[in-house]
Each structure stands twice: as C-alpha cells, then as structure tokens.
C-alpha cells in the first residue's frame, strides 16, 4: 500500500482511502493476531441498524421528554434482544417484578443481568 500510495496524487479519493487504511493499520489487522476477533463488524452493524433508522423516523416524538423516554425504552428492548431475551417476555417480567424490586437491586433487572422468573 505504501508503494501504491507514492504513485497517487495527494488529495485524491484513492490517496485519502489509502492514508485512512495506513493510519489505522494496527486496528485493521488486529484480527490476524486474535482468532476470536471477527474480520468485520457486520454483526454489530446489523444489530444497530434498526436504531439508526428509527432515529430518523422518531424525530418528532411530541416533546423532548417523550423522545428521551422512547429512546430509553427502545434501548432496553434492543438490549434485551442482544442478550437473548424475547423482548415481550422480558418487559412483562421486569414490569411484574419492578414494584417489589428493592431500589438497591434494580440493576438486576437490566437485560445483561436479568434472570427470568419461572413464570416468564
């Protein structure tokens, strides 16, 4: 890449692309040293796509408070999906447990820590 870069005029799109790659070479080749790392981030990109698309669709939530609440609920639902929960069952379980859950242990209801009750 360095040899090819010398042949390309500065400021061109190709030069910028090569410079970008060379400046991030360690990060771009890290997967070669660690077999547990994926070669791309398509898995993550596919998981966050609905959120990114939704951001455009939910620009008008009625008010800033309503928008913040919608964002929190959508984050919770998508986090539940990413942690292997059925979102409906997870939300139902959390809402049933919430009134009796001690405030000091509220983090136990987060998707990455939540263990569904036997009724869920």
Find the farthest-apart pair of alpha carbons in the chain and give their distance in angstroms, rounded: 69
41: its two tokens:
């981030």
Express each pLDDT in 100-114 by its tens digit. 999 999 999 999 988
Q: What pLDDT shows up at residue 9?
A: 95
Q: Is the whole model's pTM more than 0.85, yes or no?
A: no
Treating both helix axes as pointing N-terminal to C-terminal, what angle do 64-82 and 42-57 enclose, rounded to 10 degrees? 160
Q: Which SS3 state, helix, strand or coil, does residue 9 take? A: coil
Express each pLDDT in 50-66 by its tens digit. 777 776 666 777 888 88
């Amino acid at each position: 890449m360095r040899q090819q870069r010398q042949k390309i005029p500065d400021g061109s799109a190709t030069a910028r692309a090569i410079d970008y790659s060379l400046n991030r070479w360690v990060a771009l080749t890290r997967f070669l040293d660690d077999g547990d790392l994926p070669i791309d981030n398509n898995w993550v990109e596919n998981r966050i796509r609905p959120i990114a698309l939704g951001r455009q669709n939910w620009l008008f939530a009625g008010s800033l408070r309503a928008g913040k609440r919608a964002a929190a609920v959508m984050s919770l639902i998508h986090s539940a999906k990413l942690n292997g929960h059925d979102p409906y069952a997870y939300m139902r379980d959390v809402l049933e447990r919430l009134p009796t859950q001690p405030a000091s242990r509220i983090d136990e209801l987060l998707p990455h820590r939540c263990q569904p009750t036997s009724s869920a």
